[in-house]
Amino acid sequence: MIKIGFIGFGNIASAMASGFNLNNKVKMYASARNYEKLVSNTLKYNVTPCKNNKELIDSVDFVVLAVKPYQVSQIFSEIKEYLADKILISVVAGLTFSTIEEFIPNIHHISICPNTPVAVGEGIIVYETINSLTNDEFSTFEDVFSELGLIETIDTEHFSLAGTVSGCTPAYAAMFIEALGDAGVMFGLTREQSYRFASQVLIGTGKLQQTSKLHPGQMKDAVCSPGGTTIKGVGILEKNGFRSSIIEAIKEIENK
């Protein structure tokens, strides 16, 4: 059984822990600055809390760095002497291969960007193409982390963008579910029914596109009969900038 340790146990680390629990293929540990809070937070995830980073690193095969970007320098100065025979996996925003090499050269590491649906095994994990894992290490990494959902490589130039497209957009999908829920309630459905319908629409439509490989425009056209109700709704969405709003949201993030 592979042993994974999280340095930092915030939202994304706990989401990954939840996803790993679905298959029970890994044993998990975590460390954080506030040990008492960590004990409380890890209890429901079957994660063993560690009192410090050295204790965690000594216990695991994979070290998942899941802290805020401003904490990276301090954390690396604390742990670099313990990482010689470990595999470091960074989920820190903006922390690419070359940046890690500047902090700690000559260790085995890879940078990834998971999104929150990894918690139910339906997430996306984008990983930076350039890494220092051996073939066997990479095979193990891919085998273990593919349990969390779709796993896909991306070059460094587009790593941030891929993280934005996959990592930020669950918030937008949730806004769609919420809005459709409000619309359903407005016309008499219960909120629970409306949320179930909206969520299943996203699940089903995504699965249909992945399976059929159809262009999304074709999928839209297949539902729009001439003069029908759906195309009228499409017209209103276009009038109110539905697609352009999504594009502008991504542009705003990438141009920060």
Choose the final residue of a domain: 124, 148, 167.
167
CA 122 to chain centre: 9
Q: What is the CATH number of the domain that holds 220?
A: 1.10.3730.10
Residues of the chain with pLDDT under 50: none
Asked if residues 115 and 123 have their Cβ atoms less than 8 Å apart, the reply is: yes
Q: Do residue 156 and residue 183 come from a single domain? A: no
Asked if residues 128 and 159 have their Cβ atoms less than 8 Å apart, the reply is: yes
Q: Do residue 145 and residue 228 come from a single domain? A: no
Q: Do residue 163 and residue 173 come from a single domain? A: no
Q: Do residue 126 and residue 235 come from a single domain? A: no
Q: What's the pLDDT score for residue 32?
A: 96
Q: Do residue 64 and residue 155 come from a single domain? A: yes
Domain of residue 19, residue span: 2-167
Q: Do residue 92 and residue 219 come from a single domain? A: no
Choose the final residue of a domain: 117, 143, 167.
167
Q: Do residue 154 and residue 121 come from a single domain? A: yes
Cα–Cα separations (whole angstroms), residue 175 to 16, 73, 80, 123, 246: 22, 35, 41, 18, 12
Rounded to whole angstroms, how far apart are CA atoms 161 and 42? 31
Q: Using H for helix, E for strand and C for coil, what is the string for the chain? A: CEEEEEECCCHHHHHHHHHHCCCCCEEEEEECCCHHHHHHHHHHHCEEEECCHHHHHHHCCEEEECCCHHHHHHHHHHHHHHCCCCEEEECCCCCCHHHHHHHCCCCEEEEEEECHHHHHCCEEEEEECCCCCCHHHHHHHHHHHHHHEEEEEECHHHHHHHHHHHHCHHHHHHHHHHHHHHHHHHCCCCHHHHHHHHHHHHHHHHHHHHHHCCCHHHHHHHHCCCCCHHHHHHHHHHHCCHHHHHHHHHHHHHCC
Q: What is the CATH number of the domain that holds 64?
A: 3.40.50.720
Q: Do residue 243 and residue 156 come from a single domain? A: no
Q: Do residue 112 and residue 179 come from a single domain? A: no
Q: Do residue 195 and residue 163 come from a single domain? A: no
- Its pTM stands at 0.92
Q: Do residue 82 and residue 155 come from a single domain? A: yes
Q: What's the pLDDT score for residue 256?
A: 75
Per-residue pLDDT tens over the stretch 118-132: 999 999 999 999 999
Number of domains in the chain: 2
